[in-house]
Amino acid sequence: MELVVATRNKDKLREIKELLKGLSVKVFSLESFKGVPEVIEDGKTLENNAIKKAVQVSKFLKKFVISDDSGLEVEYLNGDPGVYSARFSGKGATYKSNNEKLLRLLEGTALSKRKACFRCAIAVADKGRVIGIAEGRCCGKIGFESKGDNGFGYDPVFIPDGFKKTFAQMNAFQKNKISHRSIALKKAKNIILNYLLLYR
């Protein structure tokens, strides 16, 4: 059984591959295929974008596909950057410039007002048809400075509830135990297993 992860983001792919261990599927990313059209992520929600990616890619490749759309929602910023997390600091945004912008916007804000949640939407599609969608959430606070070198994206500024260190100060095993992505993927695994049992 082959499963394509509709992403070119190596960081996401690394985490997803790790989290899919135990499921007897061979995992590919978009890098394994030529000519897959770029999907415009213009949905208003993570779920819309995840579904759009999974459907378009699985229709094109005629394969079983999952896609991940994720982002960070900061309460003080009314849920921003949310669906715009990847391009928060504009054209040419990097993980570093996004984190710098976030810390700047929260400057002078007390820890109690720095609540934030990572959210992840995973869509599962087969040959252009949506099979299911799963959501995961991990809440915590935005720290006062970037800390740690592991992970990616906003990991250096995100301190999950119940911990004193950022995601980027945790190892992959620790992050994967509690992350939004691991919660969504656990649900997505059940969707995949049920589908395989019933329809394939």
* Alpha carbons 155 and 83: distance in angstroms, whole number: 16
Residue (126 or 155) nearer to ligand IMP, CB = 155
* Alpha carbons 45 and 157: distance in angstroms, whole number: 23
* CB 199, min distance to ligand IMP, A: 28
* CB 179, min distance to ligand IMP, A: 6
Tokens for 110, please give them: 């007390």
Residue (5 or 192) nearer to ligand IMP, CB = 5
* CB 25, min distance to ligand IMP, A: 21
Nearest Cα to 17, choosing from 30, 34, 2, 5?
5
Residue (56 or 98) nearer to ligand IMP, CB = 98
The catalytic position among 11, 42, 68, 69 is: 69
Binding footprint of ligand IMP on the chain (CB under 6 A): 9, 41, 69-72, 85-86, 98, 118, 151-155, 167, 179, 181
Cα 94–99–104 angle (5° rounding)? 130
- 4 beta partners: 28, 65
Q: Catalytic annotation on 149?
A: no
Q: Cβ(181)–Cβ(15) under 8 Å?
A: yes
Active-site residue numbers?
69
